[in-house]
Structure 1
Amino acid sequence: MGNSSGMPPSFDYAPFSVNGTNLDPNFRENTGLVSALMFASGVLGNMLALIVLIYSSSGHKKTIFYRLVAGLTVTDLVGTSLTSPVVIAVYASGNEWIGGKTMCYYFGYVMIFAGYATMLIICSMSVERVLCIRYPCFYRARSSPKHATVILTFCWALASFIASFPFLGFGKMVLQYPNTWCFFDYYNTNPVNKAFNYFYAIFAILIISITTCFNLTALCTLLNRCRNNDSLKGCRQSCRKCRKSHKYTECQMLSQLAGITLAFSTCYIPLMIKILINQNETYLRNYGSDFTVIRLASVNQILDPWVYILLRRELLWKVISCFKKHDNNDTVPSVFQKAARSHNYEQSFCSFCFDCLCDPHVNMNNMDVKRSLSDLRLSVITSVTPPDVRRTILKIVSEDAINASNCLINSS
């Protein structure tokens, strides 16, 4: 089989048949162009996302969330830049693998590293959002932008460690159908390699599940807070404005995180399920579907930056403004005007999210922010902390007001 495929006998490859009935005659002609388009889209999207992050406000640059987004963007950019050129070169050479076994192990390593690094960073982002929204006092007192560097280093190190398992004999890299990419052998019947296959899929599903649970927790907390307007009564107008801006910033971050999570879950879950199914030796092998799910996983590196860019409130506000100008010429009130009339803190969560993503940013001068910090801080703490610990927290906050509110100023 080794010689018939054109590979040296010592080279490991998946046991697929080039002349098998599962091959589409036009498959090879189309996939080369698709790979080139995916590579161009991935590089363009991630470069644009990095430019947007670089030119973001200084306050956003100091937050942990946006630094994690930058780390995710760099990871996606590196992942697609290190693998896609190899695939394109193989297609250009007539589907003959280049670089031998060394290139195969390199390709498989980058695939595993990029996939797990993406999942771990997004999971860390969801944990960070829960801490910021659910435990604001603790978060503002203990968090630092340096923590983002620690989190990213940990995610990259853990992903790199997992990707190195096949080099240590736990898992096996092989050339995959249609001779254009390498990955671990998820059909291998060796008990050790099979254990790695189960570990890879189950651990990834666990990370996705944890991320989803934390996102739902943050969403429910934000929903309860936006519906609870009791703490806003009696506050100064500047306090109300500052809190409104802070809530909108939180909602924008959560919306971006939810979009990124939905994208990577949709792209990666089919691959993990397919790997688990392939462990059943009685299952009829379908290398075409294997290729489809791995390509779907590769699409995630393209979607992540575009989700972040398209869900930015500044961009959405410009789009909505164009519709508003058009609707103002109509005699029938537009949906945006109706939403504006009903704008209050008793509104539905969907309406609140609409305003969060589509309303312009609330600008405040330094005097307004400083004058409203005390009232705002009391209202936030009152709405999210149990009664038995409020006195202690309020005492600590009153002694060091400015320090406890740095995160809020940066976010707004």
Structure 2
Amino acid sequence: YNVLGVAPVRCRENLNTTTNPMAAGLSMTLGIVSNIIALIILAKAYAHLRKRSKATFLLFASSLVATDLAGHVIPGALVLRLYISGTAGGLCNQSDATCHFLGGSMVFFGLCPLFLGCVMAAERCMGVTRPLLHARMVCTAHTKIVLVMIWLLALSVALLPFFHLGTYIYQFPGTWCFINVLDNTSITDVIFVLLFSGLGLAALAMALVCNTISGVTLVIARLRKKKCHQRSAKSHDIEMVAQLVGIMVTSCICWCPLIYFVSRAMNETLMVMGVRLATWNQILDPWVYILLRRAVLKKIYRITTGRSDLKGSTFRRSHRSKENKCCFGLGFNKLVCSCSGLTCTFSFGDSL
């Protein structure tokens, strides 16, 4: 708008002479390399898979990393194009086809990791607290259906401005597009902002509750030191919950500032800081999985405890022996089965 003879400010004119695509290019490259490394590790882990519950988690984790990789390549390429070409779509409060696509991509790739982290936390919570129900209800086919539903939900939210329910505009300094929260906002813009912020915060809150329940359950099980507990299963549970907690903490740190700035319609500088911090979520997510694997956790255990062996440790890898033991709960007693070769003997043990 031209007010009192003052010419409208173009987004590109807000860029100072020192602005260059170096930072955006480095961030994009680092994100791509990190996610590719994580995908390779996930593929190797899936190839050596022995547990059905772990298969579901690895499928979710692979989808999260693949989504983060696409979230770096697609929006990153458009941002670099705007940096290099210098054609940032004219006025800051206007948009074009590129802006709509870039804004939709940022909303889609912003919500997907939050939704995936929430669903992964819920799946692990069921696996830890209700293992029989988890084994009966959760399978690869159901996991794929849930993944498709998550992507469709995020896509539906991202496409709302195409149906005039919200607006994507160029944001300062004109190299990225997002929801209109600063200039001439309409009621649909406000609703769109509240929907985006509400879904993101709800996903983070749900992940927090589920991870807390899973963590408390594992701690209680560890303190009880139940006999005949399968150490390998317990080790896998702790590994997966540790990774989920890391993903949740990373998402909270990276996304909460942007969600807060968007919901409160903060100034341009804070918005830029928020979106830059949010992009680090897609860089750190794969490293959470890489660094919080069982092999790394075992090394941390050795360093912190000063022990070279893992005897008695939760992270000790179980090995098959000539004598295997299992236990079954029968009322207030447990039936202990000791097998050696082809011979099995049964006896009643202590009370549960």
Name the TM-score, length of structure 1 as normaliser.
0.71
Q: Distance in 2 between matches of 1:290 and 1:208?
A: 20
Deviations 1:321-371 (A, max 9, x none): 7x6xxxxxxxxxx8322996xx65xxxxxxxxxx54xx4532336x76xx4
1:115 to 103, 110, 129: 110
2:72 corresponds to 1:86:
no
Work out whether residues 111 and 183 of structure 1, in 8 Å CA contact, stay in contact via their aligned partners in 2.
yes
Q: Distance in 2 between matches of 1:110 and 1:313?
A: 34
Letter paired with 1:362: S
2:250 corresponds to 1:263:
yes
Q: Structure 1 residues 364, 173: CA separation in 2 closer, same or farther (over 3 Å shift)? A: same
Deviations 1:21-76 (A, max 9, x none): xx8x57624xx211111101111111111111111122258621111001101111
Q: Distance in 1 between matches of 2:143 and 2:219?
A: 26
| 2:236 corresponds to | 249
Name the TM-score, length of structure 2 as normaliser.
0.82
2:32 corresponds to 1:43:
yes
Kindly report the root-mean-square deviation, in angstroms, between the aligned alpha carbons of the 2 structures.
2.8
Q: Which runs of 5+ in 1 are unaligned?
A: 7-15, 279-284, 324-333, 345-354, 383-389, 395-412
Letter paired with 2:293: R
| 1:308 corresponds to | 289
Q: Structure 1 residues 85, 17: CA separation in 2 closer, same or farther (over 3 Å shift)? A: closer
| 2:279 corresponds to | 298
2:330 corresponds to 1:335:
no
Work out whether residues 243 and 289 of structure 2, in 8 Å CA contact, stay in contact via their aligned partners in 1.
yes
Letter paired with 1:209: A
2:317 to 361, 366, 385: 361
Q: Structure 1 residues 247, 26: CA separation in 2 closer, same or farther (over 3 Å shift)? A: farther
| 1:28 corresponds to | 19
Residue 174 of structure 2 aligns to a residue in which SS?
coil
Aligned length: 321
Task: Give the structure with the higher percent strand.
Answer: 2
Deviations 1:164-219 (A, max 9, x none): 11111111010111110111102243112211111211221111111101110111
Q: Structure 1 residues 262, 78: CA separation in 2 closer, same or farther (over 3 Å shift)? A: same
Q: Distance in 1 between matches of 2:142 and 2:24?
A: 36
Q: Distance in 1 between matches of 2:201 and 2:190?
A: 17
| 2:136 corresponds to | 141
Q: Identify which of structures 1 and 2 has the higher relative contact order when contacts are C-alpha pairs closer than 8 Å and 6+ apart.
A: 1
Q: Which runs of 4+ in 1 moved over 6 A?
A: none
Task: Give the structure with the higher percent helix.
Answer: 1
2:98 corresponds to 1:103:
yes
Counting only pairs closer than 5 Å after superposition, residues 162-241 of structure 1 correspond to structure 2 as 162-187=157-182, 188-229=184-225, 231-232=226-227, 235=228, 240=229
| Deviation at residue 95 of structure 1 after TM alignment | 6.3
2:66 corresponds to 1:71:
no
| 1:58 corresponds to | 49
